[in-house]
């Protein structure tokens, strides 16, 4: 039994290893040619299987990750995952071991060797041509045009509503059209509508005489005596006689007597419940019609001065109406702008709204078109708001043969925001004399102090990139000098260090920003989360 148990114990690793196998369809390819890396996994139906993702095949480049093929065999799943790999430089390369997680266990594939050879060019059959010139590439557009389009549509909508409800010349209603007629025409039209009424058919004499006397009183109020509507019959007749005697109106005594008779009969109908004959009511209507004509004829023609004053009055009224429209439009526009600013301020914060309207450099960096690129050898892949430009990094002459530094950056440590990526190669370092990652931050801190930065606090922690590269993060606060000034501004810094390729290359990412920059924290976090390291070619 003990011997059987020992044999079973020795077979367990082989059983587990048999769950993961890997292979490639070719070990020799031309530059740029694709090979397929295949991983086969056998697992229980309840196990979670995690395949490698991202550029984990360096120095080969993954150009495509295919979907997992799954087949079921009793209580097991047979999973096949394929990757398309290539390389654009000739040489001999090794595909590193790939980590596969099955349930709670971790497995590694075998490392595989691939030979990449140059493509032979027969220059006797294939002509050689000059290198083509650079082609200008248009900058990719952001979603800012959508914001501008939305604002434009909102402005057009408000403008249309203001035009429709305030500035549009609205069609006149029937009553409005009548109100624009001269008093004489309105009086004649009112008599015509009175004829079309059913007052006399229904023997509603009180309403009939009320309407009839209102027509003549309204006409007199507008053309003769401006208190005709509110005066009693005696007061009105007395005023007409005075105007006649003063030669201000050429009405005959008979005309005034006819008006007096009809007005007093109407008073009896309205207040004493008198009921005259229907034909008499019709006769009174015709008399009023005639008297309206007589009053018009009796009125003196307006003088040129009166006509001018009337024109000026109309122009003043039109100017007042236009001014009311302008004031109302301005008030509504200002109200909508203030309401919009307050609404966005409540939702996003008033500082954000202010920076959006006025502009803020860090906000524009954060919301602009970011660039992902690789810097140095071995390459550091990083996303930044702007492309990092190569920086001059002088090295003392005595160290020229031993130290090489390449650096790329945006801004400097004395600016309000900066990103600097550098790669330092030390010739004397190596596996026997490796660069000490823990000592690297001390040199970076000394560089900050040499720039005049003071009161530097230092904290350290492990830093792991999304593709599992391990480094050291040094961060803290400091006081940065303001250029051309003796003053300082409070700020932060973060420095990431990695050691690569035989422990003789040190890679560094340094980011600095000020305390009062409300957008910098999000920008820095986005930059740090984007850092990935790629292994150098063997």
Around 140, how many Cα atoms within 13 Å sit in the side-chain half-sphere? Answer: 6
Residue 475: per-residue pLDDT: 93
Residue 358: per-residue pLDDT: 63
Residue 268: per-residue pLDDT: 92
- C-alpha–C-alpha distance, residues 470 and 206, integer Å: 104
Give the C-alpha distances (Å, rounded to integers) separating 372 from 66, 231, 375, 469, 473: 24, 90, 10, 18, 21
Mean pLDDT of the chain: 82
Task: Let me know: does 343 contact 352? Beta carbons within 8 Å.
Answer: no
Q: Is the pTM of this model over 0.75?
A: no
What is 336-374 written as a DSSP string? HHHHHHHHHHHHH-HHHHHHHHH--HHHHHHHS--EEEE
Residue 5: per-residue pLDDT: 33
Residue 203: per-residue pLDDT: 86
Q: What is the pLDDT of residues 203-218, one digit of tens each?
A: 899 999 999 999 999 9
Question: How many CB atoms lie under 10 A from the CB of residue 74?
Answer: 6
Q: Is 113 helix (H, G, I), strand (E, B) or coil?
A: strand
205-223 vs 233-245: helix axis angle to the nearest 10? 30
Residue 119: per-residue pLDDT: 67
- C-alpha–C-alpha distance, residues 85 and 316, integer Å: 84
Residue with tokens 């029937």: 174
Question: What phi and psi values does residue 141 have, to the nearest 5 degrees?
Answer: -85, 150
- C-alpha–C-alpha distance, residues 507 and 280, integer Å: 116
Below-50 pLDDT ranges, the chain: 1-18, 140, 537-538
Using CB atoms within 10 A of its CB, is residue 253 exposed (0-12), middle (13-18) or buried (19+)?
Answer: exposed
Burial 220-250 (b: 16+ CB within 10 A, else e): bbbbbbeebeebebeebbebbeebbeeeebe
Residue with tokens 């008006």: 259
Helix (H) or strand (E) holding 387: none
Residue 132: per-residue pLDDT: 60
Q: Is 366 helix (H, G, I), strand (E, B) or coil?
A: helix
Around 287, how many Cα atoms within 13 Å sit in the side-chain half-sphere? Answer: 19
Task: Let me know: does 421 contact 382? Beta carbons within 8 Å.
Answer: yes
Task: Let me know: does 519 contact 455? Beta carbons within 8 Å.
Answer: no
Residue 14: per-residue pLDDT: 36
Helix (H) or strand (E) holding 91: strand 91-95
Task: Let me know: does 57 contact 96? Beta carbons within 8 Å.
Answer: yes
Residues shown for the chain:
538
Bridge partners of residue 105, in order along the sequence: 102
């Amino acid at each position: 039994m003990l011997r059987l148990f020992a044999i079973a114990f020795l077979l367990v690793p082989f059983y587990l290893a048999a769950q993961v196998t890997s292979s490639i369809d070719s070990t020799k390819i031309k530059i740029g040619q694709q090979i397929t890396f295949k991983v086969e996994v056998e697992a229980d139906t309840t196990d979670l299987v995690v395949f490698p993702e991202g550029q984990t095949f360096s120095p080969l480049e993954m150009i495509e990750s295919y979907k997992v093929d799954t087949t079921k065999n009793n209580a097991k799943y047979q999973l096949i995952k394929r990757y398309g790999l290539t390389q654009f430089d000739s040489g001999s390369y090794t595909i590193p071991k790939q980590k596969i997680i099955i349930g709670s266990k971790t497995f590694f594939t075998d490392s595989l060797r691939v030979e990449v050879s140059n493509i032979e060019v027969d220059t006797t059959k294939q002509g050689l041509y000059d290198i083509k010139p650079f082609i200008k590439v248009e900058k990719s557009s952001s979603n800012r045009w959508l914001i501008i389009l939305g604002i434009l549509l909102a402005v057009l909508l408000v403008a249309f509503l203001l035009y429709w409800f305030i500035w549009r010349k609205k069609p006149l209603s029937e009553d409005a059209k009548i109100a624009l007629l001269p008093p004489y025409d309105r009086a004649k039209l009112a008599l015509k509508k009175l004829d079309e009424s059913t007052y006399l058919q229904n023997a509603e004499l009180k309403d009939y005489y009320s309407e009839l006397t209102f027509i003549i009183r309204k006409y007199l109020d507008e053309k003769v005596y401006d208190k005709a509507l509110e005066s009693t019959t005696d007061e009105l007749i007395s005023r007409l006689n005075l105007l006649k005697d003063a030669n201000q109106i050429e009405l005959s005594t008979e005309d005034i007597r006819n008006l007096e008779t009809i007005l007093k009969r109407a008073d009896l109908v309205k207040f004493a419940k008198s009921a005259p004959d229907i034909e008499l009511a019709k006769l009174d209507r015709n008399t009023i019609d005639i008297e309206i004509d007589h009053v018009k004829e009796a009125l003196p023609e307006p003088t040129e001065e009166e006509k001018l004053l009337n024109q000026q009055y109309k122009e003043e009224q039109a100017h007042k109406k236009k001014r009311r429209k302008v004031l109302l439009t301005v008030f509504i526009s200002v109200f909508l702008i203030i309401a919009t600013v307050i609404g966005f301020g409540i939702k996003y914060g008033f500082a954000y709204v202010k920076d959006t309207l006025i502009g803020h450099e860090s906000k524009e960096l954060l919301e602009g078109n970011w660039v992902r690129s690789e810097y140095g050898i071995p390459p550091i892949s990083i996303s930044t708001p702007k492309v990092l430009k190569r920086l001059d990094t002088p090295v003392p002459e005595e160290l020229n043969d031993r130290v090489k530094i390449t650096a790329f950056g945006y801004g400097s440590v004395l600016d309000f925001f900066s990103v600097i990526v550098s790669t330092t190669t030390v010739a004397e370092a190596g596996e026997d004399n490796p660069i000490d990652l823990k000592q690297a931050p001390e040199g970076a801190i000394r560089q900050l102090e040499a720039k005049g930065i003071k009161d530097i606090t230092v904290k350290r922690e492990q830093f792991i990139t999304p593709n599992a590269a391990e480094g050291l993060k040094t961060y803290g606060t400091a006081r940065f000098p303001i250029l051309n000034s003796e003053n300082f501004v409070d700020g932060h810094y973060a420095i990431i260090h990695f050691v690569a390729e035989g422990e003789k290359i040190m890679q560094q990412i340094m980011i600095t920003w000020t305390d009062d920059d409300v957008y910098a924290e999000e920008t820095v976090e986005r930059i740090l989360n984007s850092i990935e390291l790629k292994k150098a070619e063997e």
